[in-house]
A and B are shown apart, each in its own frame.
Chain A
């Protein structure tokens, strides 16, 4: 025969080890002056509502995953379109440069180049003309113009 107290204590005796660990942790952290700010924040902010924090962390992981996935897709699509768009743009640029020369009354030298020295107007426009010359030279090298 045992008292009810003995029966109850025997029922939960298996938890002694974990309770010892809890007791030691509280005594050492709280009473030996080793209670850090981090521990206080952890025990007061995180532990009481840890399910909420875990939920928030999972949401952030999900958001980060979706963001990285979307960025990878964008890079893949963007990377595939660079070369095609570049050629089209170059053709348009050459066409525009030719029209610009006609408008400004400049002479297109030997296959479409522009002389920087023949340009009129501000030097910034001369720099644009140099750029156009460069583009035209590259296009000629590729045999497109």
Chain B
């Protein structure tokens, strides 16, 4: 479908955007916490996707590429309104972890009655931690893909993922 989209087929783009629109919106909203800004970012991401698809090297990485664009758009919004947003950078526990097994995003199951509690716990995490978890849970991206989206190495992603899951577990147990 990405190959057809490269040729400029509207149906292919429509199908791709339909596939990614809700995960993309969920990711952006959980970062910016503003409906209108999140919709604007999704729209700008789609426009940039159409415009710059020629720069995508590997069609299989279309999803992470699109999320990477969305992240850049979020950062642009943050830069326009400094102080109003939380930073995605500067995580205090960014040492590199090696040797941890990459777990499936489906290993985490949430009971219906715990969903609200889970969302509150997720939103209470630092943006850098929340971000890697969202990318992991929403799209099941590999550590490498998450690293490409976030712009850090695989070791740093492993570290953030590890501490993010740990923090999430602790907060869920607290509540």
Instruction: List residues of A whose CB falls within 8 A of some B CB.
Output: 1-5, 7-13, 15-16, 18-20, 22-28, 30-32, 43, 47-49
Contact = CB atoms under 8 A, between A and B. Distances in A.
Contact of A7 (B13, B23, B80, B110): B110
A19 B109 CA distance: 27
Interface of B is mostly: helix
7 contacts: A1-B111, A4-B110, A7-B110, A8-B134, A23-B17, A43-B47, A49-B80
B39 A22 contact: yes
Interface of B: 8-10, 13-14, 17-18, 21-23, 25-26, 29-30, 35, 39-40, 42-44, 46-47, 50-51, 80, 105-106, 108-112, 115, 118-119, 134, 137-138, 140
A19 B21 contact: yes
5 closest cross-chain pairs (CB), A and B: A4-B137, A31-B10, A1-B109, A26-B46, A19-B21
B109 A8 contact: no
Interface of A is mostly: helix
Given A22-B39, A23-B17, A27-B10, A9 B22 contact: yes
B47 A30 contact: yes
B118 A4 contact: yes
Nearest to B10: A31
